[in-house]
Amino acid sequence: MTSKMASHSTRAGQWVKQGTSDEPYFTFMPHPLPPKPPVQYSPKLYDLLERANRALGRLDGISAFLPDPDLFIYSYVRKEAVLSSQIEGTQSSLSDLLLFEMEETPGALKTDVKEVSNYVRAMQHGLKRLNDGFPLSLRLIKEIHKILLQDARGSDKEPGEFRRSPNWIGGTRPGNALYVPPPPQDVLSMMGDLENFLHGKPEKVPTLLKAGLAHAQFESIHPFLDGNGRLGRLLITFILCAEKALAEPLLYLSLYFKTHRKVYYETLQRIRTEGDWEDWVEFFLSGVEAVSNEAESTAKKLFTMFEQHRLKIQKLGKGASTALRVHEFLKKHAIVSLPVVSKELELSFPAVNKAVGNLQTLGLVKEFTGKRRHRLFSYVGYLNILTEGTESKP
């Protein structure tokens, strides 16, 4: 950041000189939300808000018509956990997470996969608290952060506590960083202002606008030493669910942010340097529209596939009944071992072995270890759909 850019205030906040005379740097001090003057809706931006709201409404409505909405949510939360963690540099895939949940993870991957698993736990904890009537508050944000970092990378960086020392983005120190958020002594008051905004103070704003503004503000404050990106992305879903814009947590923007990473960071930075909230809101709403449409399409694709596979299995004849039970289990566990299926379904090992063999013959299931013992099977079509945009799959 040049000294010229750093020496002035913008609509979004002001840059304050810090450091020593030998190596000065500038921290950004965001103004409380909502922006002043308010976000200006051009005809284009207003139309985009309408489209994003309609797309979100269709996505919310689809949960009422899904045969098993919990199944879709189970899968989608895990996909989001992988994508959000990949943005932060983990090497874990969706398949790795599913293996971890089966306690089958290779040792070399356990740190990365634990981080992803924590994301799932943090999401579930936050949603349960909100459903139980607990407000979206600083206390809840700290609880979620503590779970995110538990026994994983960043566990030594004050999980569940706002930072008491400086942090920065890019570079090796504040003096050569790409961005330096507010000093630690200002974090609590700024997060207090953000909490007020979440509760409609000093004024209410439309839910989608609130989610977009709050995410950007959270990233600018960067209140924790680690895990800010993941928590900031979770915050979007929590706001939409807390405000009843979504009955279920079906919207996740991590793939959109990952795909458009350069634009994402540039638009966030333009808020700080130029006060350009409109450009950010346009980017955010475009993401909401695109991701809502994609999630709706994925839900339909999955359940069309499940029905087609069910009809195929019914034609097996004598072995159809057991194979259908195993197929139902695979919808909830896209990677399985035969002993686990046998135990969970209370079926004999030979019966499960035969049923899975029938599913292999139909091309629905694939063994991917190549071993004679401790074999693992994946529901191929299911994983192919779920892992779009993520890393490798078995």
Map out the domains of the chain with their CATH numbers: 3-297 (1.10.3290.10), 315-386 (1.10.10.10)
Q: What is the mean pLDDT of each successive set of 10 residues along the chain, which is 394 residues long?
A: 59 91 91 97 96 94 74 77 77 76 57 82 94 96 95 78 94 92 97 98 95 98 95 95 91 90 96 97 97 89 91 94 95 89 95 96 92 87 81 47
Rounded-to-10 torsion of CA 332, 333, 338, 340: -80
Q: What pLDDT does 80 receive?
A: 81
**Tens of pLDDT, residues 220-276:** 999 999 999 999 999 999 999 999 999 888 888 988 998 999 999 999 999 999 999
| H-type alpha helices, 204-253 | 207-221, 228-242
Residue 29: CB partners within 8 Å, gap ≥ 6? 13, 14, 15, 16, 182, 186, 190
CA 45-46-52 angle, 5° bins:
85
Backbone angles phi, psi at 279, to 5 degrees: -65, -40
Q: What pLDDT does 5 receive?
A: 47
Give me 44's structure tokens.
Answer: 């284009």
Q: What pLDDT does 130 receive?
A: 96
CA distance 35 to 202: 11
Preceding omega of 34 cis (within 30 degrees of 0): yes
- β 13-19/335-336 pair status: unpaired
- E strand spans, the chain: 9-10, 13-19, 24-30, 335-336, 365-367, 377-379
Judge whether 136 and 239 are in contact, CB under 8 Å.
Answer: yes
**How far is CA 264 from each of CA 255, 261, 292, rounded to the nearest angstrom?**
12, 5, 18
Give the predicted TM-score (pTM) of the model.
Answer: 0.88
Angle subtended by helix axes 43-62 and 277-314, to nearest 10: 30
CA distance 40 to 149: 38
Q: What pLDDT does 393 receive?
A: 43
Q: What pLDDT does 2 receive?
A: 45
Q: DSSP 3-state assignment of 137?
A: coil
